[in-house]
Structure 1
Amino acid sequence: MSETIKHRLQVPMDKGGMRLDQVAAELFSDYSRARLQTWIKEEALKVDGRACKPREKLLGGEWLELEAELEAQERWLPEAIDLPIVYEDEHILILNKPAGLVVHPAAGHSEGTLLNALLHHAPELNVVPRAGIVHRLDKDTTGLMVVAKTIQAQTDLVEQLQERSMGREYEAVVQGVMTGGGTVDEHMGRHSRHRQKMAVVAEGSGKNAVTHYRVLEKFRAHTHIRCKLETGRTHQIRVHMAHIHYPLVGDPLYGGRNRLPKGCTPDLQDALRLFQRQALHAKRLELSHPATGEWMEWEVELPEDLKALLAALDEDRQGYDDYL
Structure 2
Amino acid sequence: MNQKNKKNVKNKKQFKPKRDERSEQYQVKEAVELLPFLRETLTSRSRNAIKSILTRGQVAVDGKSITQHNYELKPGQVVSIESNQSFIKEMALEGVTVLYEDDDIIVVEKEAGLLSIATNKGPELTVHRQLMNYVKQAHVNNRVYVVHRLDRDTSGVMVFARSEKVKHQLQENWNKVVLERTYTALVEGKVTRDSGTIESWLKESKTYKMYSNQTDNGGKKAITHYQLVKQNSNFSLLEVNLETGRKNQIRVHMQDLGHPIVGDKKYGATSNPMKRLGLHASTLVMIHPTTGKKMSFKSSIPKKFQKTFKHS
Is the 1:173–1:280 contact (alpha carbons within 8 Å) kept by the matching residues of 2?
Answer: yes
Equivalent residue number for residue 304 of structure 2: 305
Partners of 2:282 and 2:299 within 8 A in 1: yes
CA contact (8 A) 1:81 1:112 kept: no
Map of 1:140 onto structure 2: 153
Match of 2:109 among 90, 96, 104: 96
Which residue pairs with 1:13 in the alignment?
none
**Equivalence for 1:322:** none
**Aligned counterparts of 1:167 and 1:253: Cα–Cα separation in 2:** 27
Give the alignment of 1:158-307 within 5 angstroms: 158-163=171-176, 165-179=178-192, 180-191=194-205, 195-201=207-213, 202-258=215-271, 273-307=272-306
Q: What are the superposed Cα offsets for residues 122-172 of structure 1, whole Å, 9 maximum, x if unpaired?
A: 1379776xx311110000100000111122321221133244744210001
Using the TM superposition, give the Cα deviation of residue 285 of structure 1 relative to its aligned residue in structure 2, in angstroms.
0.5
Question: Is the 8 Å Cα contact of residues 283 and 302 (structure 1) preserved in structure 2?
Answer: yes
For residue 135 of structure 2, the aligned residue among 98, 108, 122 is: 122
- Relative to its length, the structure with more strand (as a share) is 2
> Closer, same or farther in 2 for the Cα pair 1:218/1:105, shift >3 Å?
same
AA aligned to 1:309 is T
1:250 partner SS: coil
8 Å contact kept, 1:164–1:230: no
SS of 2:270's equivalent in the other structure is: coil
Deviation at 1:109, TM superposition (A): 4.6
* Equivalent residue in structure 1 for 2:170, among 149, 153, 157: 157
Q: Is the 8 A contact 1:118 1:125 kept in 2?
A: no
Q: Report the TM-score when normalising by structure 2.
A: 0.65
Secondary structure of 2:173's partner? helix
Q: Indicate conservation of the 8 Å contact 2:254/2:260, yes or no.
A: yes
8 Å contact kept, 1:144–1:285: yes
CA contact (8 A) 2:177 2:288 kept: no
Q: Is the 8 A contact 1:200 1:239 kept in 2?
A: yes
Residues 166 and 127 of structure 1: CA distance in aligned 2, closer, same or farther (over 3 Å): farther
CA spacing shift, 1:97–1:139, aligned 2, 3 Å: same
Q: CA deviation at 1:97?
A: 0.4
CA deviation vs aligned residue, 1:64-95 (integer Å, no higher than 9, x gap) = xxxxxxxxxxxxxxx96343111111111111
1:186 to partner: Cα distance: 0.6
How many Å separate the matches in 1 of 2:113 and 2:140?
Answer: 23
Normalised to the residue count of structure 1, the TM-score between the two structures is 0.62
Q: Would the aligned equivalents of 1:213 and 1:226 in 2 still touch at CA under 8 Å?
A: yes
Shift of the 206–164 alpha-carbon distance from structure 1 to 2, 3 Å rule, reads farther
Equivalent position SS for 1:121: helix
Q: Is the contact between residue 216 and residue 224 of structure 1 (CA under 8 Å) also seen in structure 2?
A: yes
- Range moving further from structure 2, 175-184 or 158-167: 158-167
2:289 aligned partner, one-letter code = P
Asked if the contact 2:273–2:308 (Cα under 8 Å) also holds between the matched residues in 1, the reply is no
CA 1:106–1:249 in 2, change beyond 3 Å: closer, same or farther?
Answer: same
Structure 1 residues 150 and 214: CA distance shift in structure 2, 3 A: same
Q: Retained in 2: the 8 A contact 1:211–1:231?
A: yes
Among all aligned residue pairs of Structure 1 and Structure 2, give the percentage whose two residues are the same amino acid: 32
Shift of 1:178: 1.3
Distance 1:102 1:189 in 2: 23
| Structure 2 Cα separation of the partners of residues 155 and 235 of structure 1 | 22
For 1:159-191, what per-residue CA distance to the aligned partner results, in whole angstroms no more than 9, with x for missing partners? 332447442100011112112211111110113
> Contact 2:188–2:269 at 8 Å: present in 1 too?
no
Letter paired with 1:187: W
| Aligned 8 A contact 1:176 1:223 in 2 | yes
CA gap of 1:115–1:238, structure 2 versus 1, over 3 A, is same
* Two-structure CA RMSD over aligned residues (Å): 2.1
SS in 2 for 1:209: strand
Question: Unaligned 5+ residue runs, structure 1?
Answer: 1-78, 259-272, 314-324
Q: Indicate if the aligned counterparts of 1:119 and 1:125 stay in contact, CA closer than 8 A.
A: no
Amino acid across the alignment from 2:211: A
Q: Shift in Å at residue 220 of structure 1?
A: 1.0
